[in-house]
Structure 1
Amino acid sequence: MPLPARVPAERPKSMRDHAYTHLRDAIVSGELAPGERLRDPELEAWLGVSRTPIREAIARLEAAGLVQTRRAKQTVVAPLDTRTALAAQRIAAALHALAVREAVPQLTSADLEAMSNANAAFAKALRLDDVDAAIAADDAFHDVAVRASANPLLPGLLEQVTPLLRRLERARFRSLAGRGSVADHDRIVELSAAGLADEAAAATLDNWSTLGRLLHLDDDGSAEDDPAASVAPTP
């Protein structure tokens, strides 16, 4: 199993979270490809942790749809399942809309500035075709509302669905349609600054609902012959 460069030996605060985060990121980025077999001894050497936190991380990844356990207890990276990802997208859209609705009355000028700065970074990353930076900036933009909402359940719920989407969004950010999100973000900031919680939430829902349209779904809900719909997008 070809693994990414070895994770630095710095001791993490939580071995379980350390293993989960690095495995998740490697799967989402495509460094660990669909169908890749995950063997405990190799993961132990790569992550520098014991088998127990790795097994705990694998269980979380399986619950999130990123890995699968086959017969003989073989664990592999899950294929990129468009239907499952689109189901996750609908949940993420609703959760982010809820976050904005709850956050708007509490947003400070510093929060609004952080959203605008994140969107500027997002636009720059798209101009430079820097997929990793675009995803990071998009996360930073939406995370402002998640934090400001002060809803303690939202981060955990979003972690259950967001990684599946990020695998698909690597394809999204390669398209001109992805650049439309910059205008979407500007609209969300404008409505939030005006204190229009319901309108800002609706704009957020629409922003997160573009993924299905970008995958060119046909009328019966199945994906057309689009490489992004059947394989993990490459950076």
Structure 2
Amino acid sequence: MPIPPASSSLPRSLLRDDVYLRLRDAIVDGTFEPGEQLKDGDLAAWLGVSRTPVREALLRLSASGLVVAQPGRSTTVSPIDETALRDARDVVAAMHELAVRETVARLDANDIARMREANRRFIAAAERGDVSAALDADDDLHAVPVEALGNAAVTRVLEQFGPIVRRAERLRFGTDASAAAERHERFIALCEKRDAAAAAMMAYETWHTLPVTAPRATG
């Protein structure tokens, strides 16, 4: 689809990360579709910023595999490639397994409450068909052990490869939302019982068993 005709301007104090996140999210949520050409001038106008942070964001997105940059020619949104998706899924699964295994013993009542609240939001969003809100809630739930771990390297890896997995997951979301909510509850219960081995295994399997066949967009 073309660049949206209007967007609320971002503050002048906008950091490079903010531009990157806006563009990343627009790719993940399908605003910019696979194969679509991204022109830095159009994107800068859409976001209300100069071309410099847009160009820097596109370089980061290229490193993440979300766009394909051809120097001197064009930058396009990358297709959902099965090999890249499988690789990203496996890395994401391993990082979440590590975070859970290392932190379950020190998660407190507030952490568990945050996870349960996120699952309630997940259920509510799934019931009303709000895919973005549901996936945001899912991210919030799984972020609790990652935040507790406090490992900057793990965080950077998830920031790089997580969007690749989420992008594909959006296109197939909805077929097992109720089952996902039940898995969340079982996972939270294992964390609450401080069963690090079982919780870590469940975290790994939750991510690792995601299908890697490139989904087809509908509509």
The TM-score with structure 1 as length reference comes to 0.86
Query: What is the aligned-residue identity percentage?
Result: 42
The match for 1:103 is: 103
Q: Secondary structure at the match of 1:68?
A: strand
The 1-side partners of 2:38 and 2:162 are apart by: 22
CA contact (8 A) 1:99 1:149 kept: yes
The match for 2:163 is: 163
How much has 1:72 moved relative to structure 2? 3.6
How much has 1:11 moved relative to structure 2? 1.3
How much has 1:149 moved relative to structure 2? 1.4
CA contact (8 A) 1:172 1:211 kept: no
Map 1:151-190 to 2 at 5 A.
Answer: 151-176=151-176, 178-190=177-189
The match for 2:33 is: 33
1:211 aligned onto 2:184? no
The answer for unaligned runs of 5 or more in structure 2 is none
The answer for unaligned runs of 5 or more in structure 1 is 216-222, 224-228
How much has 1:182 moved relative to structure 2? 1.3
Root mean square deviation, CA, Å: 1.9
How much has 1:196 moved relative to structure 2? 1.2
CA contact (8 A) 1:103 1:149 kept: yes
Map 1:89-168 to 2 at 5 A.
Answer: 89-168=89-168
The 2-side partners of 1:78 and 1:91 are apart by: 19
The TM-score with structure 2 as length reference comes to 0.92
Cα deviations across residues 57-88 of structure 1 (Å, max 9, x unaligned)?
01110011100013643111111112211210
Q: Which amino acid aligns with 1:74?
A: S
**Taking structure 1 as reference, are residues 120 and 169 closer, same or farther at Cα in structure 2, changes over 3 Å only?**
same
How much has 1:13 moved relative to structure 2? 4.4
How much has 1:210 moved relative to structure 2? 2.5
Corresponding residue pairs, total: 219
Ranges of 4+ aligned residues in structure 1 off by more than 2 Å: 4-10, 12-15, 70-73
How much has 1:19 moved relative to structure 2? 1.4
The match for 1:226 is: none
**Taking structure 1 as reference, are residues 58 and 234 closer, same or farther at Cα in structure 2, changes over 3 Å only?**
farther
The match for 2:83 is: 83
CA contact (8 A) 1:93 1:209 kept: yes
Q: Which amino acid aligns with 1:36?
A: E
Q: Which amino acid aligns with 1:195?
A: R
Q: Which amino acid aligns with 2:57?
A: A
How much has 1:128 moved relative to structure 2? 2.1
Q: Which amino acid aligns with 1:73?
A: R
The 2-side partners of 1:80 and 1:157 are apart by: 19
How much has 1:48 moved relative to structure 2? 1.6
